[in-house]
């Protein structure tokens, strides 16, 4: 999110929400426009569709917006205009056409000189190119917020999603404790649209109960690809062989059905991440560098581990670490070292040999849980 001036959401006559997180952009736009209508009335509120399939349509839309801004309010004290889902301020073919570029520049000058008494203007767009004159002017005279999508590769994405849940829970009259919140975010992943859908479902299911529990989440929430991988790795960590084999069979069946969201290599790498985390924690426990609890406490020597959550449990999600610590205690350090060797050998078989991939990963899971060393493997 960024603002380039001293205007606030409450005082700015022009508000711009944009970014590739289209769910948040649309939600913020809808909420603000409803607030404006409640404050000034909806009789003088106008919504203009900003989705233009070509340059001619984009020019037509700009003209409609100009006309709407310049028409006086008939019933209320303020004219409200929303340019919704605008797609011609970015860098695509329509936006880059000379005609649209010139029209946007002229429109920007109008906005800069416009007298905004009695007028409020909202823009929601996926992209506003910083190369354009209108972008520079909007950042001078408008309140702007950029909303970028949260992805699985973002450092701290779990914390961002958790904060979003905490922000919206009051709308449903609900609460979650820390473990339920972490479990919910883990199952849903970095998908705000799915998150809101699952919250709606949980809210309806729990009815008048003020709190959403871990049991509610386990029962109802749809698990994304990452959480399915977590469930298998969690079963391995708990040395629950029947559950691990059942979950692995489910994943393999999904792959056989043609699912593009999963692969055997992806499953293998998920297990590798889990065993690596357990091995690191096992060593830290032995050295007294970590204290168990809902929010584990670390006391690592400076520079002992890299600044990467994949290789440093102190930077990983507290919920994941709190579940992983007791699981690490179920394995000896040597068993975890053996497990990493078994996984390395499995990876080699999957990539470089004609070994049946399903048999290879199934046997590897069995060998890890049973504590076999590489030379004892039956494969």
Residue 75: the pLDDT is: 66
* pLDDT given at position 42: 86
Which pLDDT score is estimated for 150? 83
Burial of 50 (0-12, 13-18, 19+ CB in 10 A): buried
> What domains sit in the chain, N to C, each tagged with a CATH number?
14-146 (3.40.50.300), 157-220 (1.10.8.60), 225-376 (1.20.272.10)
Residue 41 is given by DSSP the state -
The list of the chain residues with pLDDT below 70 reads: 1-5, 74-76, 153, 155, 225-229, 259-261, 294, 377-379
Does the pTM of the predicted model rise above 0.75? no
Three-class SS state of 14:
strand
Identify the three-state secondary structure at position 143: strand
What are the tens digits of pLDDT across the range 210-229?
999 989 998 898 877 666 66
Apex 151 CA angle, 145 and 157, nearest 5: 85
Give the up-direction half-sphere exposure of residue 346: CA atoms within 13 A in the CB hemisphere.
29
Q: What is the distance between the alpha carbons of residues 155 and 32, in angstroms, rounded to a whole number?
A: 30
**pLDDT confidence of residue 364:** 95
- Under 8 Å between Cβ of 158 and 274: no
């Amino acid at each position: 999110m960024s603002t380039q001036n001293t205007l606030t959401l409450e005082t700015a006559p022009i508000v711009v929400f944009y970014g590739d997180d289209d769910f948040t952009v649309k939600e913020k736009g809808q909420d603000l426009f409803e607030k404006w209508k409640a404050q000034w009335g909806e009789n003088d509120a106008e919504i203009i569709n900003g989705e233009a399939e070509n340059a001619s349509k984009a020019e037509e839309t700009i003209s409609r917006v100009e006309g709407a801004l310049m028409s006086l309010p008939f019933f209320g004290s303020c004219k409200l205009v929303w340019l919704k889902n605008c797609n011609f301020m970015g860098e695509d073919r329509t936006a880059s056409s000379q005609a649209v570029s010139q029209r946007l520049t002229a429109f920007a000058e109008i906005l800069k000189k416009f007298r905004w008494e009695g007028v409020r203007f909202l823009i929601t767009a996926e992209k506003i190119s910083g190369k354009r004159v209108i972008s520079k002017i909007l950042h001078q005279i408008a309140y702007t917020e950029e909303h970028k999508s949260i992805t699985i590769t973002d450092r701290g994405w779990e914390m961002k999603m958790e904060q979003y849940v905490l922000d919206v829970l009051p709308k449903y009259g609900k609460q979650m404790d820390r473990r339920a919140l972490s479990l919910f975010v883990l199952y849903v992943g970095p998908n705000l649209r799915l998150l809101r859908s699952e919250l709606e479902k949980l809210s309806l299911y729990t009815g008048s109960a003020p709190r959403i529990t871990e049991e509610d989440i386990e029962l109802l929430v749809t698990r994304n690809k990452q959480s399915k991988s977590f469930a298998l790795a969690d079963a391995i960590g708990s040395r629950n062989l029947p559950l691990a084999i059942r979950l692995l069979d489910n994943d393999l069946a999904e792959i056989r059905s043609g699912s593009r969201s999963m692969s055997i290599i992806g499953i293998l790498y998920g297990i590798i991440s889990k065993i690596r985390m357990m091995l690191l924690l096992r060593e830290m426990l032995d050295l007294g560098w970590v204290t168990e609890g809902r929010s584990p406490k670390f006391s690592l020597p400076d520079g002992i581990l890299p600044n990467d959550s994949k290789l440093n449990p102190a930077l990983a999600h507290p919920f994941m670490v709190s579940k992983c610590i007791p699981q690490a205690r179920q394995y000896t350090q040597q068993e975890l070292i053996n497990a990493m060797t078994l996984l390395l050998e499995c990876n080699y078989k999957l990539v470089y040999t004609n070994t049946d991939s399903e048999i290879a990963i199934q046997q590897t899971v069995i060998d890890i849980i049973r504590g076999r060393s590489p030379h004892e493997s039956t494969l």
